[in-house]
């Protein structure tokens, strides 16, 4: 009995090590597969839309909602912006000097109706300008805060679900989208997005007593 025990112990030990190695290999394989899947699922967004006055002609198919194949088509760009906003699942942090574009306003309102939590920061003077949608937001129940001073709240950025940032020179007006030379960068780079999230939270708190 003692002979069997003595002899079989090393085999059992080897068998145990073998099982251990197989299990470890499987665990590592599974981890790599999971990481690979995560990477595939996470689509990195890094693009810039360059709006140009040369595409002013595209304004006509904004009204009939028809895309064209021209590079930098204003309608295609607008549709892309709407798609990003309507893709919001939880939050939209809107920090815009000026917003008059009907389609963009409607996409924010429809996100609000879907239950997305929306915060809006704007400029005091521009909120009173013709065509500004800020009052409409307020009427529908979206909280709008603003900077009220002789200086302006000149940011033009929107953060979607604290993960995607749209930021650039573009004012969110049809005039700018169809006629100006402007840019809008869209990115999911975490380090960049985080800085804008922090900036929004800072301004949101700073303007807490200045609601419209």
Kindly state whether residue 45 participates in binding Zn ion, applying the rule CB under 5 A.
no
Kindly state whether residue 56 participates in binding Zn ion, applying the rule CB under 5 A.
no
Please say which residue, 75 or 157, places its beta carbon nearer to Zn ion.
Answer: 75
Please say which residue, 63 or 130, places its beta carbon nearer to Zn ion.
Answer: 63
* Tokens matching residue 43: 């689509």
Q: What is the 3-state secondary structure (H, E, C) of the chain?
A: CHHHHHHHHHHHHHHHHHHHHHHHHHHHHHHHHHHHHHHHHCCCCEEEEEECHHHHHHHHHHHCCCCCCCCCCHHHHHHHHHHHHHCCCCEEEEEECCECCHHHHHHHHHHHHCCCEEEEEEEHHHHCCCCCCHHHHHHHCCEEEEECCCCCCCCEEEEECCCEEEEECCCECHHHHHHCCEEEEEECCHHHHHHHHHHHHHHHHHCCCCEC
The window from 11-19, 60-68, 115-123, 202-210 that contacts Zn ion (CB under 5 A) reads 60-68
Number of chain residues interacting with Zn ion (CB under 5 A):
5
Kindly state whether residue 174 participates in binding Zn ion, applying the rule CB under 5 A.
no
Please say which residue, 62 or 105, places its beta carbon nearer to Zn ion.
Answer: 62
Would residue 161 show up in a list of annotated catalytic residues for this protein?
yes
The window from 3-11, 55-63, 133-141, 148-156 that contacts Zn ion (CB under 5 A) reads 55-63
> Under rule CB under 5 A, which residues in 118-157 are in contact with Zn ion?
none
Choice from 45, 68, 109, 192 touching Zn ion (CB under 5 A):
68
Choice from 49, 58, 95, 170 touching Zn ion (CB under 5 A):
58
Q: Annotated catalytic sites, by residue?
A: 154, 156, 161
Which positions lie near Zn ion, rule CB under 5 A?
A: 58, 68, 70, 73, 75
């Amino acid at each position: 009995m003692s002979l069997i025990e003595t002899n079989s112990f090393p085999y059992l030990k080897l068998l145990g090590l073998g099982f251990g190695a197989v299990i470890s290999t499987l665990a590592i394989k599974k981890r790599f597969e999971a990481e690979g899947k995560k990477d595939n699922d996470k689509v990195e967004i890094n693009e810039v839309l360059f709006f140009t006055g040369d595409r002013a002609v595209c304004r006509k198919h904004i009204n009939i909602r028809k895309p064209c194949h021209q590079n930098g088509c204003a309608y295609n760009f607008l549709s892309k912006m709407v798609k990003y906003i309507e893709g919001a699942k939880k939050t939209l942090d809107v920090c815009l000097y000026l917003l008059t574009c009907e389609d963009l306003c409607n996409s924010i309102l429809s996100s609000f109706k879907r239950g997305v939590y929306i915060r809006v920061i704007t400029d005091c003077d521009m909120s009173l300008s013709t065509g500004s949608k800020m009052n409409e937001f307020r009427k529908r129940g979206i909280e709008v805060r603003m900077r009220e001073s002789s200086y302006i709240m000149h940011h033009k950025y929107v953060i979607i679900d604290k993960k995607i940032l749209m930021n650039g020179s573009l004012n969110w007006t049809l005039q700018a989208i169809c006629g100006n030379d402007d840019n809008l960068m869209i990115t999911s780079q975490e380090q960049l997005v985080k800085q804008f999230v922090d900036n929004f939270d800072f301004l949101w708190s700073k303007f807490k007593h200045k609601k419209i």
